[in-house]
Amino acid sequence: MNIAHIGFTVSDLDAAIAFFEGHFGFELRSRQIQDNPYTRATVGVPDAVIDNAILTSPGSGGSELQLLEYRAPKTAGTFSPVQQPGATHLALAVEDIHQLHQRTAAAGVAYSSPPNLIDSGRNAGGYIAYAIGPDGLRVELFQPAPLPVPAQ
């Protein structure tokens, strides 16, 4: 078994696509309106009409990001606060978190903090920051610790 995709429901699909494409290098692979009985049965929403986008990122290894906007029933929404059960985030492994943070913050991306050094646990020596996207969607940027140089 492998993770095929992760999906997020957003209130403005165009804004969410622009966020991931413009700031993190994702590419839109497909987009379609799903207005059919099997989709309504699958999601359990009898009148669902969904604008569905699939994005990929460089180096994703085949995993995809699915962004969904319910055209019907249309509801406003925001992602749950980080401490609330059911809250979600997408983690992206990055090579240079400081450069990415500087570039995206200058372009208007909000962050909960600048990159933080991870000083304990299995990722000690790495860096982490949360970018805040449309609807409050959190995107974790994670730069792993440098690999130790093998002794010779």
pLDDT for res 149: 67
Q: What are the boundaries of each domain within the chain?
A: 5-72, 89-143
Determine the Cα–Cα distance for residues 117 and 79; give it in Å rounded to an integer: 26
Task: Report d(CA 22, CA 27) in Å as an integer.
Answer: 9
Assigned fold of 89-143: 2,3-Dihydroxybiphenyl 1,2-Dioxygenase; domain 1 (3.10.180)
- Determine the Cα–Cα distance for residues 26 and 150; give it in Å rounded to an integer: 34
CA distance 145 to 124: 7
**What is the per-residue pLDDT across 124-143, written as a single tens digit (0 to 9) for each?**
999 999 999 999 999 999 99
What's the CA gap between 136 and 69, in Å, rounded?
15
Q: Say whether pLDDT at 1 is over 90.
A: no
Tell me, what's the pLDDT at 61?
75
> In whole numbers, what is the pLDDT of the chain averaged over residues?
94
Chain centroid offset of residue 68 CA: 12
Q: Is 31 exposed, middle or buried (0-12, 13-18, 19+ CB in 10 A)?
A: middle
pTM summary value: 0.92
- Beta strand pairing call for 110-111 and 127-132: antiparallel
Q: What does the pLDDT look like over 36-86, one tens digit per residue?
A: 999 999 999 999 999 999 999 877 777 899 999 999 999 888 899 899 998
Residue 2, pLDDT above cutoff 90: no
Kindly report, residue by residue over 79-120, the tens digit of the pLDDT.
998 999 989 999 999 999 999 999 999 999 999 999 999 999
Give the separation between CA 21 and CA 28, rounded to whole angstroms.
8
Class of 5-72 in CATH: alpha beta
At 24, which helix (H) or strand (E)? helix 13-24
